[in-house]
Amino acid sequence: MSEQQETFPLTVFMLVKTQPEWLGFDIDTRFRLLEEHVAPILRKHRDEVGLRFYDIEFYNARVTDIWQWQARSHHAYELVVEALRETPFWDRYFAIVEILPGVENAYASNYGRTPLAA
């Protein structure tokens, strides 16, 4: 089991699509809104949950971004989602298209095996 897997056993891929309202904001406003609404949630839960952003609108029409959450527990992730749902980022600025939770290398660790790696 990798150190990252021990630290953050739950990974959630949240597939989202930007909404016209978000795209209508200029860049400065977008970053101000992120700082105002999302940054406080991330700071509050930083010891339990991490977030990475991936832009995929170049290659996909149904989904524009992937938000990759890594959490120490399901409960920690749930607390972040509850907080995020109280902001305009949840289903206003971004449509939440699909949520895919996963456990890295579970296929190997469940059988006491070393995972394949490249």
Task: Render 33-98 in DSSP notation, one character per residue.
Answer: HIIIIIHHHHHHTTTTEEEEEEE-TTT-SS--EEEEEEESSHHHHHHHHHHHHTSTTBTTTEEEEE
> The domain that contains 53 carries what CATH number?
3.30.70.3420
The CA-based angle 34-36-42, given to 5 degrees, is 70
Residue-number span of the structural domain to which 14 is assigned: 3-103
What is the predicted pLDDT for the residue at 6? 57
Residue 55 lies in a domain: yes
**Rg (Cα) of the chain, in Å, rounded?**
16
What is the predicted pLDDT for the residue at 1? 44
pTM (2 decimals)? 0.86
Residue 52 lies in a domain: yes
- The mean pLDDT of 91-117, rounded to a whole number, is 93
The predicted-structure confidence for 33-70, as pLDDT tens digits, reads as follows 999 999 999 999 999 999 999 999 999 999 999 999 99
Look at the chain and report how many structural domains it folds into. 1
Task: Kindly indicate the confidence band of residue 98, based on its pLDDT and cuts at 50, 70 and 90.
Answer: very high
Task: Check if the beta carbon of residue 7 is closer than 8 Å to that of residue 52.
Answer: no
